[in-house]
Amino acid sequence: MTTGLTALLSHWLRHPLQLAMLMLGLALATALWSGVQAINAEARASYDRAAAVLGQNRLDRIEAGDGGPIAQGLYVALRRAGWKVSPVVEGRLPGTGLRLLGIDPLTLPPDAASVPVSTGADLGRFLSGDGLIYLNPDTAAALRPDDGLPDLQSDPGLPPGTGVSDIGVAQRLLGMEGKLSHLLVTPGRQPDGPLPQGLVRRAPDGGSDITRLTDSFHLNLTAFGFLAFAVGLFIVNSAIGLAFEQRRAMFRTLRALGLSARGLIGIVLLELLVLALVSGAIGIGLGYLVAAALLPDVAATLRGLYGAEVTGTLSLRPGWWLAGLGMAMAGTLLAAGQSLWRLWHLPLLAPAQPRAWARASARSLWRQGLAGAGLLGLSAGLLAFGTGLTAGFGGLAALLIGAALCLPMILILATGLGSRLARGVLVQWFWADTRQQVPGLSLALMALLLALAANIGVGTMVSSFRQTFVGWLDQRLASELYITARSADEARRLEAWLAPRTDAVLPILSAETPLFGRPGEVYGITDHATYRDNWPLLSATPDVWDRIAAGQGLMVNEQLYRAKGLALGDAVDLPGGPLPVVGVYSDYGNPRPQVLIAPEALMSRFPDTPRLRFGLRVAPNRAEALATALVAGFGLPEDAVVDQASLKALSLQIFERTFAVTAALNVLTLGVAGLAMFASLLTLSGLRLPQLAPVWAMGLTRQRLAVLEFARTLLLAALTLVAALPLGLALAWVLLAVVNVAAFGWRLPMQVFPADLMQLGGIALLAAGVASLIPVLRLARIAPASLLRVFANER
Amino acid sequence: MLLTLTGVTKTYATGEGPLTVLDGIDLALQAGTSLALTGESGSGKSTLLHLAAGLDVADAGRVDLAGVNLTTASDSGRAALRRGKVGLVFQQFNLIPSLDVAANLAFQARLAGSHDPAWTAHLAQVLGLSALLGRYPEQLSGGQQQRVAIGRTLAARPQLVLADEPTGNLDEATGDAVLDLMLRLVAETGAALLMVTHSPRLANRLDRRVTLSAGRIT
């Protein structure tokens, strides 16, 4: 056995480049997969920590049935009735984005002891005077002293973006005096009898809202990681296939010398698993670097899109690297499956066929093409009749794999056509020979197809999204200035001062309330030309604005409209009674359901809504002077007055950062595909000599042959690019019209950007050219003796 | 004189130091004549053939083919000479696997710009290939492949045919039949033939015979 293993391993010593390709392919595949998994694991751990604060993932809670606040008096009544409950106030601090939790440490259930003050020595400070807020150190460092907050105390046990204070402090800071968000129920026996009217007891959630909201984002990342992994496996398959083919004679000799087929498979498996283990370990190290590089952008994306806080540093979790090694080994076995199958069925006496691997029979390629066509049909069925994200991704996977399987057949047909149409002898040979290279290069070309299609698809989606988003921002951010007052009194003074100095002062009122059982938002929209002329309506009744102004209807955002399958005229429940839907508007980037009603209707249904924010209409050339005057005259902090351009720039900045990760993964996937191409060309270059040497002997120079080889690679890459174009656009359509709708609730109009496609085409050809450069230069400079070996008789 | 080798020496670098394969070879071949090159394995027969074809360059001495000094000719100059004046037949046939028999037959002639469809058709008929023109090399027997290789060589009407063990991969009966055809057609074209062979029986069928031993003519 050891002798056999030594003989097998000697192959790698003689072919170090092949070994490097195999290990690099596997390492890259593992790196991209495990990098994405590391990011996902880190984000999910952050969500779990956030959900675990105050034991909210373990303790029952009592809430108002309508999702609104609970009067403090009700809490007192429950305590008096013997209920062991503890009050919690929860909300976001305006201007800081901080999620503040107000607690009563004296009644807090023991299961909620993740909060340090329940046993800490700072209890006195926590309860007295201005109070104390416990914060994650990173969050504390990000807050500025002029945010007007009480003393801050770092506690690494708290998740980022969350602060814990005494309930009185939180009520004051959140403007919720006399109100509570919910009550935590201490486990154990509670009084018999029902809860007071309007209160409901809820079991702890299996997953937090953030977990649910971000699921689609992480699924997207996972899909990309998996795509990159699959592309990497093409390199592994190519390298293993070649190594098997080159060692065919050795396998036969070992079998002839008495090694059983089982024993041979055993040592080959051992060899592969050792290689997988080493390459997987390298890949995990690279994956850690990839994840560390991408995590800040992912964290910014999650914060910008979902308000989810994720720590910016990675931790090495045993589950993660073990799963990475498992994937590396599973991937290796998958990539080696075909070769192992052939080895198992290796006839002992068959003559060596050095090119059998590269010359897969036409019948098997047609079979593969038919399977691909079947998958394309399945994809069409899933996309047409399936619902939800799973059907969307299932359709996407079937589309990509189906198209990849069809590619060799398409290339054979295309090169066959070229061969028939060609006139000159060299051109005819060029096409015919290119056709013969397709089976050997098919895996690399399939990898290139997938990478190109992913680039085209995701690129088109992002560009379509950007174009739509910019137009949408112009519509939504119509006011020239946006201001935020620090108090109701200041807001009244500001309104009075601004009235004669602006064309319009448009209050921005909002309240939080459950919509169809999910946390949602209600906005008040003033009846003004600013909105009538600009608001991005997708569908509406003819008198939409009149009915909104009269308090006889509401508008819903697209995500709520699609998620609940609403139609114009359907009623939406709100505190104070339902209202019919009279319009639907696009609301990109917002993961929550939202409705718009008249400001008066909002104030009557949510009377405690603060009136602190305003949009100001003013001549654009006066906006800057007015902003300066507001800051100077009212002593407003500079970030309380924001001009339209800054707001748009900020929104676009968040947008660009959101897709920075996608762009990085795109580039990496294309890079891996380029490497797959390089690996295949390099390994095939040795096998090409028997086909090229006769043509050289008949009078073609090595340089000319090299030029033709270069052109051949470019031609195959160009044909693959042509195939990738419709596939990529189909992918973009699925992402925009199916996956986005299922994941985020909005559908975007698809737009094609020819300049971007041409640029990508150029990059693809460049990558193919670079990938073929070394094999081509080798050919151009090959010693005649190497070519003459093809004709040698004594072999 | 069509082909002249004067004081030709060729040395290869090996792991155990330089190995002299040809050592001061002098040889000449007239148009329309044939010469058999025999010798044991490793005696330098194939190397001599390769130098005569301009596939490789001598380290010392000179090789003249059709008035061109191959030792000093450029790579593209030697390639042009191979295209137009030389025909090669190998033991492994070395057909172009991606082209069918018809395209293989015409390949070198078209490459040299001397394609004569009538002549190629005649060759196909004489070589018994007319019914196989649409087949690919992998669909042919060894004898059939070698006949295609001979047809490909002669279709370009070369002045010099260089054959390296052309029947080495064939059984005796098939080999004899193929050699008969080759000799007949070479004579028909008026080309000179330099053939490497292990077989004294086959060597005796050519006009002259030269034996190589350890890189020298004996």
Adjacency order of strands within the sheet including B68-69: B17-29, B3-14, B60-65, B68-69
Which pLDDT does position A290 carry in this prediction?
85
Residue A573: CA count within 13 A, CB half-sphere: 10
The dihedrals phi and psi of B215, each to the nearest 5 degrees, come to 85, 5
Contact A691 B96 (CB under 8 A): yes
Q: What is the DSSP letter of B131?
A: G
Contacts with A790 (C-beta within 8 Å, 6 or more apart), sequence order: A689, A690, A693, A694, B92, B94
Interface check A356 vs B, CB under 8 A: no
- State what percent of residues in chain A have pLDDT above 70: 89
Contact A790 B92 (CB under 8 A): yes
Give A208: exposed, middle or buried? Use CB within 10 Å, 0-12, 13-18, 19+.
middle
Section A497-522 average pLDDT: 87
Q: Which tokens is A47 given? A: 């969500």
The dihedrals phi and psi of B126, each to the nearest 5 degrees, come to -60, -35
Distance CA A669, CA A662 (A): 10
Distance CA A527, CA A532 (A): 7
Section A190-202 average pLDDT: 77
* Greater model confidence, A321 or A57: A321
Contacts with A343 (C-beta within 8 Å, 6 or more apart), sequence order: A244, A251, A261, A264, A265, A268
Report whether pLDDT(A429) > 80: yes
Least confident of A93-97, A256-260, A287-291, A620-624: A93-97
Q: What is the mean pLDDT of chain B?
A: 90
Q: Estimate to the nearest angstrom the gap between the alpha carbon of A372 and the chain centroid.
A: 27
Q: How many CB atoms lie within 10 A of CB A399?
A: 24
Q: What is the mean pLDDT of chain A?
A: 82
Contacts of B165 in chain A (CB under 8 A): 793
Which pLDDT does position A724 carry in this prediction?
93
Give residues 387 to 446 of A whose Cβ lies within 8 Å of B. 424-426, 428-429, 432-433, 435-436
Chain A closest CA to B80's CA: distance in Å? 6
Instruction: Report whether A605 contacts A625 (CB < 8 A).
Output: no
Which pLDDT does position A361 carry in this prediction?
55
Q: How many CB atoms lie within 10 A of CB A182?
A: 22
pLDDT in tens, A390-422: 888 889 889 998 999 999 999 999 999 998 898
Section A301-306 average pLDDT: 69
Distance CA A28, CA A669 (A): 10
Residue of chain A whose alpha carbon sits nearest to that of B107: A425
Which pLDDT does position A658 carry in this prediction?
67
Section A509-538 average pLDDT: 86
Which pLDDT does position A352 carry in this prediction?
41
Contacts with A510 (C-beta within 8 Å, 6 or more apart), sequence order: A521, A522, A523, A524, A609
Residue A769: CA count within 13 A, CB half-sphere: 9
Report whether pLDDT(B102) > 80: yes
Chain A closest CA to B100's CA: distance in Å? 10
Report whether pLDDT(A687) > 50: yes
Report whether pLDDT(A228) > 80: no
Report whether pLDDT(A121) > 70: no
Residue A706: CA count within 13 A, CB half-sphere: 14
Q: What number is the ipTM of this complex? A: 0.85
Which pLDDT does position A244 carry in this prediction?
81
Instruction: Report whether A50 contacts A299 (CB < 8 A).
Output: no
Instruction: Report whether A541 contacts A533 (CB < 8 A).
Output: no
Give A138: exposed, middle or buried? Use CB within 10 Å, 0-12, 13-18, 19+.
middle
CA-nearest of A330, A368, A404, A441 to A713 is A441
Which pLDDT does position A775 carry in this prediction?
87
Sequence-ordered alpha helix ranges (H) in A307-387: 318-344, 362-385
Distance CA A371, CA A374 (A): 5
Residue of chain B whose alpha carbon sits nearest to that of A698: B83
Contacts of A429 in chain B (CB under 8 A): 96, 98-99, 103, 107
pLDDT in tens, A237-278: 777 877 787 787 788 777 777 778 888 888 889 989 999 999
- State what percent of residues in chain A have pLDDT above 90: 19
Q: Which candidate in A419, A687, A698 is best for mutational testing of the B interface (most B CBs within 10 A)?
A: A698
Q: Cα angle vertex B119, ends B118, B120, to 5°?
A: 90
Gyration radius of chain B's alpha carbons: 17
Q: Cα angle vertex A322, ends A316, A325, to 5°?
A: 115
Report whether pLDDT(A118) > 50: no
| One-character DSSP codes across A447-464 | HHHHHHHHHHHHHHHHHH
pLDDT in tens, A351-387: 444 344 444 456 677 888 999 999 999 999 999 888 8
The dihedrals phi and psi of A133, each to the nearest 5 degrees, come to -115, 125
Contacts with A293 (C-beta within 8 Å, 6 or more apart), sequence order: A664
Q: Estimate to the nearest angstrom the gap between the alpha carbon of A394 and the chain centroid.
A: 16
Contacts of A700 in chain B (CB under 8 A): 79, 83, 111
CA-nearest of B71, B63, B72 to B160 is B63
Interface check B79 vs A, CB under 8 A: yes
Distance CA A11, CA A20 (A): 13
| One-character DSSP codes across A723-771 | HHHHHHHHHHHHIIIIIHHHHTS--------HHHHHHHHHHHHHHHHHH
User: Which one of B95, B103, B112 has the shortest CB-CB distance to A699?
Assistant: B112
In one letter, which amino acid is B208? R
Report whether pLDDT(B156) > 80: yes
Interface check A633 vs B, CB under 8 A: no
Which pLDDT does position B51 carry in this prediction?
93
Q: Which residue has the tokens 């403090």?
A: A72
Section A522-541 average pLDDT: 88
| One-character DSSP codes across A606-655 | STT----EEEEE--HHHHHHHHHHHHHHH---GGGEEEHHHHHHHHHHHH
Which pLDDT does position A409 carry in this prediction?
92
Distance CA A429, CA A436 (A): 10
Residue of chain A whose alpha carbon sits nearest to that of B163: A791
Question: How sure is the predictor about A113, in pLDDT bands with cuts at 50, 70 and 90?
Answer: low
Phi-psi region of A463 (alpha: psi -120 to 50; beta: other; left: phi over 0): alpha
Instruction: Give the max Cα distance, chain B.
Output: 53
Section A270-299 average pLDDT: 88
Q: Which tokens is A1 given? A: 């056995």
Q: What is the DSSP letter of A577?
A: S
